[in-house]
Chain A
Amino acid sequence: MRFLLIEDNADLARSIRTRLDLEGHAVDHAASLADAADHLAAAHYDLILLDITLPDGDGRQFLARHRAGHADTPVIVLTARSAVSDRVDTLDLGADDYLTKPFDFAELQARCRAVLRRRGGAASNLQSLGDLTFDPLGGCVTIAGEARDLRNRELRLLEALLSAPGRILSKDQLCDRLFSYSEPVSDNAIEVYVARLRKKIEGGSARIETVRGLGYRLTVG
């Protein structure tokens, strides 16, 4: 997906970009409203991530103008303010959702997907490996056309493995992707979920290979 990130904090912007990049998204960064306007004029975006406090104006003004203009691009507001009036205002003004900083990327992902799902329209880029297709937006997995019902973490595990097909991902790396840092994680949590996922995608060409001491990878065949 193509994101427009409107955020004036350079460090934060960089890390968001990097993270989204890792997930395989394209991110453009504007540090001010003026910048954002230029970007929007030049390209089309699937989603706009908007920081409320910007150097050259309040993000809410942008929202208002945005609604007037490009009504089709969903906006998720990133806010550090806590006043509920801010939240209500933003939603009233036309934001599709908001996130309070600091946020979990997993949550960001989930909300983006939810917003996009709600809006419909945006084409979902399906990922596939072998006869396994994965719709990240819809959160659906089909093995040889047959839909498989995966729980959330199983989906995320699959997504993580799919993002680096054929590459080994360490347990740690997978942990990072699956669990937030505040969650209690048991030692064999990854093993448990890998086992579960294996079971869910059984019968297809894609399979999860355990590389002892190194991690796991998703392979075909």
Chain B
Amino acid sequence: MAPRAPASLRRRLLIQLIALSAVLAVALYVAVRLGAERASEATLDSILGAATTAIAEELRSVEGGTELDLSPGTFSMLSAVGEERIFHRLDISGVAVTGYADLPLPPRPPSTLEPVFYDAPYRDTDLRLAAVARSLMIENRPAPVLVIMGQTRDGQRAIAQSLANRAAALGLAVFLVAVPLSLLAAGSLMRPIANLAEAVGRRGGHDLRPVRHPAPTELKPLVEQLNAFIARLRQTLAQTETFIAEAAHHIRTPLATLKSEAEMALMQAGDEPTRARLRGMIRATEESARSAGQLLDHATVLFRADQRAQERVDPGAMVAALVERFGPTADLKDMELRLDLPAAPLETLGDAVLIEAAMRNLIDNAVKYSPDDSSVQITLAAEGGFARLDVRDRGRGLGGETQAVLERRFHRGANVAGVVGSGLGLTIVAETAVAMGGRFALTEREGGGTCATLWLPLSG
């Protein structure tokens, strides 16, 4: 399974902060609840234990038995917190002598002087009980005495509950406050990242300068790696540019030599078969040269399209220069190149190299496929936010094939027999159109020929 991309950092942080707040709020509640209960229980236990112990010590052995004087103050005090119900039981030598005779006994008898605390149900409620053991001399014999005091803990529970409720309300309030604070914190934390991302994003596609935007410590390693990557990319790009240029040179120079040698040989050749062969060789070298040229152009297009250079280009000036350049070539076939430019200069933003390559291919195609003595019409006009370039020829037309098919790499139209071309020309135009954010269309002309249209978005 492909690893899942992590969700937005901001959302993660937000969720974690909120989860943390929730956990803390719950922990607060639980802590207070437990703490309050334990604290109050411990306090009340110690009071209960003290009262039981006091009563046990109040027990006196007198002539004729034992004597006990229960103090109302003790009972009042035990009952005071939360108006608890009080129960007592006094056993001498294992026999209940006074108080509530069925009050539950402790699970284990107290062994030391310390009270034993335990919980037990009694009658219609649950009690917290303390039992204290003493020894009393009765009729000259030691008799074990067990004093048990029990109290309900309703009041304590009520207080603990109300404390816990307050804690819950506090926890909830804290949580509710934490939510917007978390949002703020997440936002402010993410800001440096957002700033950095924006700064990097604002750079042009061509911008291979190192990123110098100040970054927080945690992002510094990322920025450093990014800069290292940019440097490597710059190097690779430079190498690629160099490579493409070198490749061109290294392919074309031998081809040029080959061609001119063949031409020389052809001039000197006598017999027809040899001539034919030599012509074939020459055509092959021309085809190779052309293919090489288009492959290199294509490589350049691919290479440059990614970089998204944003230069200001005057398509009118560019097409005019190209038309002038193709002048002598067209002349050789007695072809006329007619150029119509708009009155006001147009401007498009993009890669000058690519646009030039596309336009050159369009004109080259038109010249290549047009017969002698024909004319090629080139018009440039502004149309709905685009610069529209039309190249119309009276050539062989599309031969019934669709634009999409013709654009396919290395596809040569069905009607190109006898004409040298590698089939990359239209691909280059189409890819350039897409990269520049424009469009490209091929249509048949009435009366024969092709109209190739290239739209480039106008700047501004």
Which residues from chain A sit less than 8 Å from chain B, CB to CB?
9, 11-12, 15-16, 18-19, 22, 53, 80-86, 100-107, 110-111, 113-114, 151-153, 172-173, 176, 180-182, 184
With A9-B253, A101-B256 in contact, is A106–B297 under 8 Å at CB? no
With A101-B252, A102-B256, A103-B256 in contact, is A83–B241 under 8 Å at CB? yes
**B286 touches which of A53, A84, A111, A181 (Cβ 8 Å):** A181
B side interface size, CB within 8 A:
50
A182 touches B261 (CB 8 A): no
Which residues of A sit under 8 angstroms from B327, Cβ to Cβ?
A: 114
Encode B309-345 as 1/0 by CB contact (under 8 A) with A.
Answer: 0000000000000000001110111100000000000
What are 23 A-B residue pairs whose CB atoms fall within 8 Å in the complex?
A: A9-B253, A11-B257, A22-B267, A80-B249, A82-B245, A83-B353, A84-B353, A85-B353, A86-B245, A100-B252, A100-B293, A101-B255, A104-B332, A105-B263, A106-B332, A107-B329, A113-B328, A114-B328, A153-B333, A172-B272, A176-B266, A181-B282, A182-B420
With A12-B253, A106-B332 in contact, is A81–B263 under 8 Å at CB? no
Q: Does chain A have a CB within 8 A of B289?
A: yes
A182 touches B241 (CB 8 A): no
User: Considering the complex of A and B, which 7 residue pairs feature the smallest CB-CB distances, nearest first?
Assistant: A15-B260, A102-B256, A184-B418, A101-B256, A80-B252, A110-B328, A182-B420
B residues 399-430 with Cβ under 8 Å of A?
Answer: 417-420
Q: Does chain A have a CB within 8 A of B275?
A: yes
Q: Which residue of A lies closest to B280 (CB)?
A: A181
How many angstroms between the C-alpha atoms of A127 and B223 in the bound complex?
71
Q: Does chain A have a CB within 8 A of B259?
A: yes
Which residues of B sit under 8 angstroms from A103, Cβ to Cβ?
A: 256
Which residues of A sit under 8 angstroms from B285, Cβ to Cβ?
A: 102
Which residues of A sit under 8 angstroms from B418, Cβ to Cβ?
A: 184
In the complex, how many angstroms separate the beta carbon of A11 from the nearest chain B beta carbon?
A: 4
B332 touches A84 (CB 8 A): no
Q: Does chain A have a CB within 8 A of B300?
A: yes
Which residue, A18, A22, A153, A181, has most C-beta atoms of chain B within 10 A?
Answer: A181
**B244 touches which of A12, A16, A82, A107 (Cβ 8 Å):** A82
A102 touches B260 (CB 8 A): yes
A182 touches B260 (CB 8 A): no
Encode B35-56 as 1/0 by CB contact (under 8 A) with A.
Answer: 0000000000000000000000
Which residues of A sit under 8 angstroms from B250, Cβ to Cβ?
A: 80
Encode B211-250 as 1/0 by CB contact (under 8 A) with A.
Answer: 0000000000000000000000000000001001100111
Q: Which residue of A lies closest to B264 (CB)?
A: A15
**A12 touches which of B257, B293, B419, B420 (Cβ 8 Å):** B257
Which residues of A sit under 8 angstroms from B154, Cβ to Cβ?
A: none
**A110 touches which of B248, B286, B332, B357 (Cβ 8 Å):** B332
